[in-house]
């Protein structure tokens, strides 16, 4: 009902709409409507009420909530079927995996304003403080071979870069396969987790963290981490970033799932790569080796040449540039 009332108020933005009209439109009592309006005011909506005239929505900017995100995605015809929103949670990936394990739902988006235990790749922590970034996870159930799951990370990286470049005049790079870099510092990352059996994916959770409006970072990471705000001076409503990233994600994802077409994603990953055409260090469990990264193959895997001229393909691991 909250969502419906917000929609009605938005449709009449800056104009009064009477309690009776809302009540007739929704077929619920005026008392229930009054209660919801009270909650909406408490959560930050600037709603003016006047006797005999009703209610007028004055400002709904920067409200980060399930209803706002759902309405925005719906208005753009997104593939997301359900949004779970939290003010605070341990990790949106953990929550999305829980849904994946316990339900048949898919195309579910989990978002939290804060993560108390945000996870990065290779067991690292992902700083996820209040009102500063986009911390979200998509639950997917694609009919793919588990060996193709890494493409989902590259689809997400391509979506993040394309979305960011629509809002900011910034040169965004991808450090293969999942780090989004601006001016040498990381501003976003992707953590893809999979639950699978031999030859079959049960579900995939693609976790996306974007430092949007973060004003500062702890000293120990301030020379490697940054935010879109710090790099551009622009503060942007996080919902806009969510909408665009989700839009491009599904554009590329549907192309891949339906038509097995991965070329556009591959092109973006190549064009934006800060890893290619240079010497890199490949860090694996117990070894680090240096090699020249010369291309991505058609599956998006990193092709490297070592100092003896031996060529090999890197599927996983950390690449340091």
Residue 253 touches ligand BTN, criterion: CB under 6 A: no
Dist. CA 47–CA 50, nearest whole Å: 10
Q: Are 318 and 296 in contact (CB under 8 A)?
A: no
Residue 92 touches ligand BTN, criterion: CB under 6 A: yes
Residue 187 touches ligand BTN, criterion: CB under 6 A: no
Q: Are 292 and 308 in contact (CB under 8 A)?
A: no
Residue 44 touches ligand BTN, criterion: CB under 6 A: no
Beta strands in 60-132 (DSSP E): 82-89, 108-115
Q: Are 265 and 245 in contact (CB under 8 A)?
A: no
Residue among 252, 207, 188, 243 nearest 96 (CA): 207
Residue 97 touches ligand BTN, criterion: CB under 6 A: no
Q: By rule CB under 6 A, what count of residues binds ligand BTN?
A: 22
Residue 119 touches ligand BTN, criterion: CB under 6 A: yes
Closest CB 299 distance from ligand BTN, rounded Å = 21
Residue 189 touches ligand BTN, criterion: CB under 6 A: yes
The residues, any chain, with a CB within 8 Å of residue 142's CB and separated by 6 or more, are 152, 201, 204, 253, 257
Closest CB 225 distance from ligand BTN, rounded Å = 10
Span near ligand BTN by CB under 6 A; candidates 206-214, 244-252, 299-307, 312-320: 206-214
Residue keyed to tokens 């849904």:
99
Residue 84 touches ligand BTN, criterion: CB under 6 A: no
Dist. CA 85–CA 62, nearest whole Å: 15
Dist. CA 293–CA 61, nearest whole Å: 45
Residue among 193, 111, 203 nearest 156 (CA): 193
Residue 93 touches ligand BTN, criterion: CB under 6 A: yes
Q: At what angle do helices 150-167 and 238-259 cross, to 10 degrees?
A: 140
Q: Report the residue number, 57 or 204, with the smaller CB distance to ligand BTN.
A: 204
Residue of 115, 154, 162, 227 that binds ligand BTN (CB under 6 A): 115
Q: Report the residue number, 6 or 314, with the smaller CB distance to ligand BTN.
A: 314
Residue of 120, 142, 146, 317 that binds ligand BTN (CB under 6 A): 120
Q: Which secondary structure element, helix H or strand E, spans residue 156, and what is its range?
A: helix 150-167
Closest CB 206 distance from ligand BTN, rounded Å = 9
Binding map of ligand BTN across residues 144-183, x = CB under 6 A, - = no contact:
----------------------------------xx----
Residue 135 touches ligand BTN, criterion: CB under 6 A: yes
Dist. CA 171–CA 240, nearest whole Å: 19
Question: Residue numbers of the site for ligand BTN (CB under 6 A)?
Answer: 91-93, 115, 118-121, 124, 126, 128, 135-137, 178-179, 189-191, 207-209
């Amino acid at each position: 009902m909250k969502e419906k009332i917000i929609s009605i108020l938005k449709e009449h933005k800056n104009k009064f709409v009477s309690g009776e009209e809302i009540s007739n439109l929704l077929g619920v009592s005026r008392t229930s409507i009054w209660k919801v309006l009270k909650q909406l005011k408490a959560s930050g909506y600037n709603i003016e009420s006047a006797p005999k005239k009703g209610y007028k929505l004055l400002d709904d900017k920067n409200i980060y909530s399930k209803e706002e995100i759902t309405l925005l995605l719906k208005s753009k015809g997104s593939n997301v079927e359900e949004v779970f929103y939290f003010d605070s949670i341990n990790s949106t990936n953990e929550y999305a995996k829980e849904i994946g394990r316990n339900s048949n739902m898919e195309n579910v988006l989990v978002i939290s304003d804060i993560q108390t235990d945000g996870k990065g790749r290779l067991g690292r922590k992902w700083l996820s403080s209040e009102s500063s970034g986009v911390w979200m996870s998509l639950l997917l159930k694609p009919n793919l071979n588990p060996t193709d799951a890494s493409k989902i990370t590259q689809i997400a990286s391509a979506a993040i870069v394309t979305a960011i470049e629509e809002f900011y005049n910034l040169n965004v790079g991808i450090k293969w396969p999942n780090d989004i870099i601006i001016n040498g510092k990381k501003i976003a990352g992707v953590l893809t987790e999979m639950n699978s059996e031999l030859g079959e994916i049960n579900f995939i959770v693609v976790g996306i963290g974007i430092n949007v409006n973060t004003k500062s970072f702890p000293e120990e990471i301030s020379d490697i981490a940054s935010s879109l705000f710090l790099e551009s001076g622009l503060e942007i409503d996080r919902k806009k970033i969510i909408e665009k990233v989700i839009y491009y994600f599904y554009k590329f994802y549907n192309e891949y799932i339906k038509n097995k077409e991965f070329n556009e994603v591959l092109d973006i990953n190549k064009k934006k790569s800060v890893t290619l055409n240079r010497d890199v260090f490949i860090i694996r469990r117990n070894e680090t080796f240096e090699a020249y990264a010369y291309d991505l193959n058609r599956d998006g895997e990193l092709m490297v040449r070592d100092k003896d001229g031996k060529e090999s393909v890197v599927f996983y691991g950390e690449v340091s540039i």
